[in-house]
Every structure is written in C-alpha cells, then in structure tokens.
Structure 1
Amino acid sequence: MPRRNELEHKALNVIVNNGNDGVLQSELWRKLDATSREGSRIALKLETKGLILREKEISEGRWTYRLYPKNKPVSLNSIIDAPCLMCPNDARCGAWSPISPNHCPLLTAWILGEEQPETESSGED
C-alpha cells in the first residue's frame, strides 16, 4: 500500500487536474484505490493544509463533498510568444533605461495583437 504522503500527492494531482469542475470525494478515493476512510482523511488533511476547498453536496441521494483546488497551476502559454523572451536587448532593457518596455514598439505591437514591426535590433538587415 502506498504511503500516506504519496496518496496525498496523488489526490492533489487528481483534484487539480479536474480544475473548476472539482471531484467528488467518493470518486477520489476510488481513483486512488483507497478506502473511504483513507479518502476522507486525505481530503481533510489537504483542506487543513490550505490546498483544497471542500463543499458539501448531495450525489446519488447521499451527502459527499466536492473537492476543488485552491491554487490553479500556472500556465505560460499566454506569454510564450512575447517578444521580450527572445529580445537581443533584454540585458539592457529596464523601466528607466534608454531601452525600455515603456517605449518598445515590439512589446506594444504584441500587446495590441498587431504584426511585429521590423526594427534594427531584430538582427535582420
């Protein structure tokens, strides 16, 4: 049988992967191949640690809890194509520097969803 910490880690992964829909506590312990008692203890422990939120609800005529993650996983997909990530002026760029994100045409175009303007710093002649 897996150690309790391993079950807690697996349980948290299951809960996080279900996202905003949450997962019923009764489904969780079945997915973990654990007993109802173990599932309840794990859910309580995760709630005590502040990792999940438990909301009471009726499912198939019985009271159970729906478990939601308190923290969602961070996704970098929204900034993966930001020009700053590949900018040759990255080391010299700063808020009060001559090269600044405040006046960067590449960053402005990216934020507005426009085509990237050609600049001397892009390395193209």
Structure 2
Amino acid sequence: MDKVFNAITTSGEEGVFQTELCKSFSLDSRDGSRLVGNLEKQSLITREKALYNGRWTYKLVVKKSIPVDAIEQKPIDLSSVEGAPCICCPSQHLCSIEDESNPISPAKCQIIEEWVTISFNKFMMIQQTEII
C-alpha cells in the first residue's frame, strides 16, 4: 500500500488515474479499488470520477496536508475526565458498550456511577462557594 500511496503522492496535484495505477502495479481492478478505497477511508487521498480513454475511472489525488504550525494550538482541558476510574479498572479488558448482555459495561458500572456522583457534588460545592 505504501508503494501505491507514494506513486499517487509523486503525481502531485495532477493526480493519477486509477486504471493507470493498477496497470503499473499489475493489480486487477477489484484489488486496485480495495487498495484505493482503504487510502480514501484513511483520508489520505481523494477520488474524483473522470472519463479516461473513453472509460469511466477515478482520478486519484493526495489530500493536501496542513502544516502543523498553521494549526492553532489550543490547550486540552482534561478536567472532565480527571480521576476517571476506567483508566486503572481491573475489568477494563472485559468492559464493552457493544454487547448489551455483557454484565461489565459503563452503563452498568457502580464505580463510574459513584465517581460521577462525587464529581458532580464537588462541582456543585465549587459553584455554591463562588456564588457566596
């Protein structure tokens, strides 16, 4: 997949047609579509439908990346999850929200319920002292 992605990257803003890419890597159209689909799902490329040599195909173009220094850096506030019991829970590997029949889940967890209640009570006490 890296070689295919590098080939698309090398094509620059011009892009490359999916049929040509498949030919150059000796891929059948199904394998080429899967590979390109995975790159698209990872948001690495865009696929634009295009007519090429009288047939419909896709023009593949690498998505432009935004330089890290151009992104406004904001501090991350972790106070809402500070002290969350899940991080050190001995049953973490069994916990799941996927299976409702699973006896260990966040929705059924007594430890989380107690943590939320205590956190809420602390928050309310702080709010009351700020009012006074």
TM superposition score normalised by structure 1: 0.50
Bigger proportion of residues as helix: 2
Q: TM-score with structure 2 length normalisation?
A: 0.47
